[in-house]
Structure 1
Amino acid sequence: MKRQSKLTVFLILFFLTINFTKAQSTINEITNEFFKVYEKNPQKAVDYIFSTNNWMSKEKNYDVENVKSQLSNFTGLVGDYHGYEKITEKSLGESLKLVSYIIKYDRQPIRFTFLFYKPKDVWKIQNFKFDDNLDAEIEESAKINNL
């Protein structure tokens, strides 16, 4: 009986591991999972996105903790979260991609920018940042010189 239950537990863990790895195979899947977690807990979402890069998660990374702290302070000022929209995706070759999203809050939107790198066969976060400079950028793009 014990052997059967150990085998069952092993099989469940094995299939969960396979599904978790498969769920992170594309940038869209990684960002979708990020936002799914973000909706419930922004701090855990930051931990999740940085966990895709084992170089950043080998030890307690103070840069990651700083991002989490700044994000927490910032989002506390903008009201309730109402979802996200992709605004751009740029590539350099086939191994480096930048993806930006508008994050919708009551007071104002903010932008999340993810830089992903695929050195071999798995996408990893290379950089993550956020800002609220969207209004200045859209005003600048509307100027006649930019047409």
Structure 2
Amino acid sequence: MKIQTKLITCILIFFLSTNLTKAQSTINEITNEFFKVYEKNPKKAVDYIFSTNNWMSREKNYDVENVKSQLSNFIGLVGDYYGYEKITEKNLGESLKLVSYIIKYDRQPIRFTFLFYKPKDVWKIQNFKFDDNLDAEIEESAKINNL
């Protein structure tokens, strides 16, 4: 009886772990998962997004640690989190896609920019950035010569 219970437990663990680590097939699935994790723990969300690219997760990546540290410091200054909205999505061919989001905070919005790359059949993060230059860009776009 004990062997049967252990076998069933091992099978359940195997199926659950393969289901949890299953790569998302679309960029929307990846970003939805990112924001789901972000709502609870922004640092873990950054770890998640970079985990989609095995080249960045092979060893401790100091750039990733730097992004997490800067983001944590920035979040401490902008107040409560209220959600996100997609700003834009741009393609360069079939294999490179940039997606940008407004992240809504009490004090001011910030922007997250994801650059995704699909070398074969799976999308992975190529670059992730954040900034708060939205006001300057919207003012520039409102100038008459940009119409």
Aligned twin of 1:145: 145
Aligned twin of 2:79: 79
Aligned twin of 1:104: 104
Aligned twin of 1:9: 9
Q: Structure 1 residue 140: deviation in Å?
A: 0.6
Stretches (4+) displaced over 4 A: none
Q: Which amino acid aligns with 1:50?
A: F
Aligned residue pairs total 147
Q: Which amino acid aligns with 1:140?
A: E
Q: 1:7 and 1:82 mapped to 2: Cα distance?
A: 45
Give TM-score scaled by structure 2 length: 0.94
Aligned twin of 1:28: 28
Aligned twin of 2:125: 125
Q: 2:118 and 2:7 mapped to 1: Cα distance?
A: 35
Q: 2:16 and 2:95 mapped to 1: Cα distance?
A: 27
Instruction: Give unpaired runs (5+ residues) of structure 1.
Output: none
| C-alpha RMSD over aligned residues | 1.4
Give TM-score scaled by structure 1 length: 0.94
Q: Which moved more, 1:9-18 or 1:60-69?
A: 9-18
Aligned twin of 2:65: 65
Q: Is the 8 A contact 1:96 1:115 kept in 2?
A: yes
Aligned twin of 1:41: 41
Q: Which amino acid aligns with 1:128?
A: F
Q: 1:100 and 1:83 mapped to 2: Cα distance?
A: 14
Q: 2:101 and 2:9 mapped to 1: Cα distance?
A: 39
Instruction: Give unpaired runs (5+ residues) of structure 2.
Output: none
Instruction: Write out per-residue CA displacement over residues 95-114 of structure 1, whole angstroms, 9 at most, x where no aligned residue.
Output: 11100000000000000000
